[in-house]
Structure 1
Amino acid sequence: MDGKVLKSGRKIRIKKIKASEIEAEKIDIIPSELLLTIYLNNISISTISCSPFNLIEMTIGFLINNGYVDKYSDINLLKICNNENNETAGQNKFSRKIEVFTTVKSDKNVILKNQKYISSACGSIDDFVLGNKLQKIKSNVRVNSEVILKLNIETLKHQKHKKAHGGLHSAALFDKNGSISVIMEDIGRHNCIDKITGHILTKRLPINDKIIFTTGRLSLDIIYKISKMLIPVIVTNSSITYSAAIMARKLNLTAIGYARGGRFNIYSCPRRVT
């Protein structure tokens, strides 16, 4: 349903410049961007800049990871509202809203206090959520280093939208043997993780032996989202911040960075890598 909101890429006329060459006009394809406003029990809680697909999964992941909903079973109804008139309403055609109703009502004052706009470049974990104590990850899964080395290649191989027009981050869910379960793409690295969360919850997947590979930097809020899911291993082909590495150590999360070109660095809980 949500895949029909916008295409993942849109055609646009550009001028292409090369050194010592005459300007040439061509049609290029660039990523689409959607402003999605989430309403929780008729209250607007957030507007997220995102790619226009897998919106259901992203919304579920966002609500769980940011503490607006405690568990997936609390969600009673979730629907995307498409206003057909928006297609001719200028900028409005790039915005949609999604309505979520829960069996357990959230604290209205907390929701209104934390209402915000989230850009594609910036993630968000609310202060009241960071104050909550997370469980330490108890998984005893072991992952062979050869599997870690293949995750970047496997993720690149399964990218669909990025191959078409570039400009997107990716996150993929693997098992301990390196078999891919799903890949999510988005203009925002945090949105990719929320989409993975939503997929895990809607498909009721076991997480004890799972690995998430992401093309985005591992910051404190990303580590929080991964730890909240109790995923034991997170891998990126990019960097990790100091605060994220320290938090990963405290929560027994195996965090791996710079996993590309036949190498990687383990920043926490190396016992899970053999």
Structure 2
Amino acid sequence: MGEATAVPTVRTLASPLESARIGRPVERLSVHGENGGSFSPVRAAIRESAADVIVLRYPAERVEWFAELLTTGRTVLLADSLVYWRLVAGRGRGAAGAPGLWTGELRDADAAGALAAEIFAGYRNHYAADPLFAACDARAGYADWARGPAAAGNCLALYGPGEGEPRAIGLATVADDGPATEILLAGVVPGERGRNRYAHLLAAVEERTRARGGTEVVISTQGHNTGVQRAWARYGFEPVRTLLTVHLVRKGLIPSA
């Protein structure tokens, strides 16, 4: 999910889609290095929130913050890490040409959602750490996250040969923030993996970034997803930072054993 833009002040933001999924108010709070190293404003934001769940992301180097979180009066669930990588646009290693493959804009929100659901079927994210999200279909979440950018014209699809006619076999949704383009979601369908298809998607985003005058591409994934990080390294990306993800749940909502 997109976290590249620094939050100018430490405050929670409503998350309507996640609130609808679990039937409880959910808010998000993202803290980056630009916010400084003090936990005090984070504590204040947590205390001011009336949400049942706060999904907090903060710099992994603030190791001491986890102990502070335990004193906020909420149940604290460690819910994964988010690793960011960066590419200077124009320095990517590209992808070898492959007959029958091409990329193009995908504006059909429903098609993008269905494709994202296929790509991310079985993928585990921070929802799995929280019993309140146990009934959520993670695929539905990825479908929702793909629909918005597609409708806004911020989705690229990778097309390849199909049965009778070409079909979309991968997608990348993006968000532009000044000189940076962030890849929000990217992947190829299971049957096309291991064939260097993913590099074609990265190349398409890099080309799009340069065409608009951008200078860098940013991408992130859960820390456990080492396979895709190897693909980024081969393409030319470099790791730049890690955020920890925790869920801060209102006391009493998670039954004790």
Q: Is the pair's TM-score, using the shorter chain for normalization, greater than 0.5?
A: no
TM-score by length of 2: 0.29
Higher RCO (CA 8 Å, separation ≥ 6 residues) = 2
TM-score normalised by the chain length of structure 1: 0.27
